[in-house]
Amino acid sequence: MTERATSSLFRSPWQEGGFVRLVGVVRTLLRLWPRLENRFIDRLVSDQNRRVHAYLRGRTPQTLLLIMPRCVKKTGCHAPVQKTLNQCLECMECPLGDVAHLCGDRGIRALVAFRSHIAFALARSEQPDLIIASACRDRMIKALRSTPEFPALLAPLTGMRKMCLDAGIDLDWIAAQLDLVLPAATPGIQDSPRIRTAQNS
């Protein structure tokens, strides 16, 4: 990768109103069959990820935005993860600890923002070259609709203890996506991409 990625160059069908409306119609028709709707969403996400991987060939993202659902944070945790994941490095009682280590191993700084509208606002203000996100299927569709101009690699959550509580994420998948643009290295390397971590609702 030699050329810096520029989100304004990214093109996706999610930037077309007709495509977004069509997806909405299909989802409405599939609501009576949740498994089919989930398979439809998974196909949309798979197509998006292939599109982004193709876009990244020959480009080096300089700014990354890592978005996680708020329900990944352990119930009852009071760590100020909206500012830093440093406390998570010692805790390791929820996936945020693993994410903190993934960031630390790559010498990147993580900042966290609550609620999806804040994450989307952060994307627009930071203008990241790449977004890496994990969320429930409905929120992934919301992200694709809300920030279609940004290349975003997406993965569904791996499960929840209860609705919107103690969710799991595919850490191997997140690590693999990070390795595409920034392999694990000594913290503090000078030319590593800047990463903002937004904890989504």
Check pLDDT > 80 for residue 31.
yes
Share above pLDDT 90 across residues of the chain, in percent, rounded to a whole number: 30
Q: How many domains in the chain?
A: 1
Does residue 193 lie within any of the structural domains?
Answer: yes
Tell me which of 46-55, 96-105, 180-189 is least confident. Answer: 180-189
**Which position has the higher pLDDT, 47 or 186?**
47
Does residue 15 lie within any of the structural domains?
Answer: yes
**Which position has the higher pLDDT, 141 or 121?**
141
Per-residue pLDDT tens over the stretch 84-111 = 777 888 887 888 888 888 877 877 665 5
Return the pLDDT at 190. 42
Return the pLDDT at 108. 65
Question: Quick check: pTM over 0.85?
Answer: no
Does residue 3 lie within any of the structural domains?
Answer: no
Share above pLDDT 70 across residues of the chain, in percent, rounded to a whole number: 81
Per-residue pLDDT tens over the stretch 185-196 = 444 444 556 666
Tell me which of 23-32, 55-64, 109-118, 190-199 is least confident. Answer: 190-199
3-state secondary structure the chain: CCEECCHHHCCCHHHCHHHHHHHHHHHHHHCCCHHHHHHHHHHHHHHHHHHHHHHHCCEECCEEEEEEEHHHCCCCCCCCCCCCCCCHHHHCCCHHHHHHHHHHHCCCCCCCCCCHHHHHHHHHHHCCCEEEEEECHHHHHHHHHHCCCCCEEEEECCEEEECCEEEECCHHHHHHHHHHHCCCCCCCCCCCCEEEEEEEC
**Which position has the higher pLDDT, 35 or 121?**
35
Does residue 110 lie within any of the structural domains?
Answer: yes
Per-residue pLDDT tens over the stretch 129-170 = 888 888 889 989 998 999 899 999 999 888 888 777 778 889
Mean pLDDT of 99-125: 75
- Domain encompassing residue 38: 10-200
Tell me which of 2-6, 30-34, 40-44 is least confident. Answer: 2-6
Return the pLDDT at 73. 82
